[in-house]
């Protein structure tokens, strides 16, 4: 019998949770109408959308009227940066962001028309708080710091970063796209972005919460819902809310199991694979993310070799990216960028999945090193 596929690349696009699948199907049946119209079917869709918003708000520690739904996480980050930034144009156009923020956030920051100050990180990807405090000033339009880095798992010192931003009157956008559903949020924010695709919700929906006290400006053409022009997908919102409720109810179990599996990977890989760097904070991290780089290995070749052997993994290596540039996160950390393997364990991961991966990895790396002529270096 052929072994089943092992999926270890759940960051941003996890397998859809059964609760989300069920809720999505039910909402397609009962919530297909346009929630902005005035008749019974529309009111039914509106009720489903409002209920989803309430569930999401409660899980994020926000009020329902603070929650915006967006077409996806990328669009949410774009809108959050641009609308909060434009609202403070008179104060300034500068954006302060850690050097390891998501590329979509940094791309939006560069559109505001001022400098983007990239605050450096240590070799675990944790932002330099002294440099952060120096960079923050009243002329900064918006500041951005992720809750956790989705590529390497490290949690960021959001409390301290928020204190500094708040003290200068600068709104802080917290990208919690890699952490919501996996770790307790428990950090202050002015704008918060979360990614249903990461916690087992359906694709096609994003969530941004904006504190009532934070001013935002309209970006893009006039629309009744500028955060999701034309309106968000009701079934996707319902599915996202159902998935989040389910994963939060199961979180203690998923946390313990995945944390110990990541510990096992972190301990085993350096023993069984020569010349490997496991990166990211070993303790203060997401429970399910682990990244390592193998010297003298082509990242694309390793992803392909592991796929051939039944394993789906990610990579931050240049050769595995469409832009042929290495991950800006690994570069900012000053760690090896080639031969990178990025694992984000889905909640459905089993001990057997991880043991099979650990058993195959040494030979997969050796195979790629042999192909490239890097044996014995």
Partner 1 sequence: MSDDVGPLEPVNDDVGPPEPVIDARGLRCPAPVIALAAAARQTTGVITVWWTDPAAEYDIPAWARMRGHEVLGTEPLRSEESNETADDAPTRGAPYATRVRITSP
Of 70 and 317, nearer to partner 1 (C-beta) is 317
Give the sign of the dihedral formed by CA 307, CA 124, CA 12, CA 197. positive
CA dist list (Å): 305 to 131, 298, 377: 41, 11, 21
Give the sign of the dihedral formed by CA 109, CA 111, CA 117, CA 119. positive
CB of 58: closest distance to partner 1 in angstroms? Answer: 42
CB of 295: closest distance to partner 1 in angstroms? Answer: 6
**Selected catalytic residue, list 319, 332, 333, 349:** 319
Of 86 and 338, nearer to partner 1 (C-beta) is 338
- The 3-class SS string of 301-325 reads HHHHHHHHCCEECECCCHHHCCCCC
Give the sign of the dihedral formed by CA 137, CA 138, CA 140, CA 142. positive
CB of 127: closest distance to partner 1 in angstroms? Answer: 19
Of 167 and 334, nearer to partner 1 (C-beta) is 334
Of 1 and 377, nearer to partner 1 (C-beta) is 377
336: burial class by Cβ within 10 Å (0-12, 13-18, 19+)? buried
- Residue for token digits 């002294």? 130
* Interface positions with partner 1 (CB under 8 A): 275, 277, 293, 295-299, 317-319, 324-326, 330-331, 334-339, 372-374, 377
Of 277 and 348, nearer to partner 1 (C-beta) is 277
Annotated catalytic residue 294: no
CB of 31: closest distance to partner 1 in angstroms? Answer: 47
CB of 310: closest distance to partner 1 in angstroms? Answer: 25
- The 3-class SS string of 63-98 reads CHHHEEEECCHHHHHHHHHHHHHHCCCCCCCEEEEE
**Cβ contacts of residue 261 below 8 Å, gap of 6+?**
345, 349, 351, 354
Catalytic (active-site) positions: 319
């Amino acid at each position: 019998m052929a072994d089943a596929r092992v999926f270890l690349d759940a960051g941003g696009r996890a397998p859809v949770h059964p609760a989300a699948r069920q809720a999505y199907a039910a909402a397609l049946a009962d919530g297909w109408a346009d929630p902005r119209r005035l008749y019974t079917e529309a009111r039914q869709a509106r009720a489903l959308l409002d209920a989803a918003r309430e569930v999401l708000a409660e899980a994020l520690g926000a009020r329902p009227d603070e929650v915006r739904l967006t077409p996806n996480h990328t669009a949410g980050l774009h809108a959050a940066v641009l609308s909060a930034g434009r609202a403070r144009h008179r104060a300034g156009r500068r954006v302060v962001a850690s050097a390891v923020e998501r590329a979509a956030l940094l791309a939006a920051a560069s559109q505001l028309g001022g400098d983007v100050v990239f605050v450096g990180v240590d070799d675990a990807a944790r932002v330099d708080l002294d440099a952060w405090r120096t960079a923050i000033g009243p002329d900064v339009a918006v500041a951005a710091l992720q809750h956790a880095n989705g590529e390497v798992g490290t949690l960021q010192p959001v409390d301290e970063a928020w204190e500094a931003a708040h003290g200068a009157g600068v709104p802080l956008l917290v990208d919690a796209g890699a952490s919501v559903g996996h770790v307790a949020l428990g950090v202050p924010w002015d704008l918060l972005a979360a990614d249903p695709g990461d916690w087992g919700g359906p694709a096609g929906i994003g969530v941004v919460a904006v504190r009532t006290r934070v001013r935002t400006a309209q970006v893009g053409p006039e629309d009744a819902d500028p955060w999701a022009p034309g309106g968000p997908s009701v079934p996707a919102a319902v599915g996202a809310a159902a998935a989040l409720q389910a994963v939060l109810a199961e979180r203690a179990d998923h946390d313990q199991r995945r944390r110990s599996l990541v510990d096992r990977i972190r301990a085993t890989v350096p023993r069984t694979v020569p010349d490997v760097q496991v990166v990211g904070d070993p303790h203060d991290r997401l429970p399910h993310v682990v990244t390592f780089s193998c010297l003298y290995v082509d990242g694309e070749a390793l992803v392909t070799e592991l796929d051939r052997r039944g394993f789906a993994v990610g990579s931050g290596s240049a050769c595995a990216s469409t832009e042929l540039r290495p991950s800006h996160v690994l570069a900012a950390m000053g760690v090896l960028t080639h031969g990178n393997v990025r694992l984000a364990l889905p909640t459905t991961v089993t001990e057997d999945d991880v043991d099979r991966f650990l058993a195959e990895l040494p030979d997969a790396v050796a195979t790629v090193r042999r192909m490239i002529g890097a044996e014995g270096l």
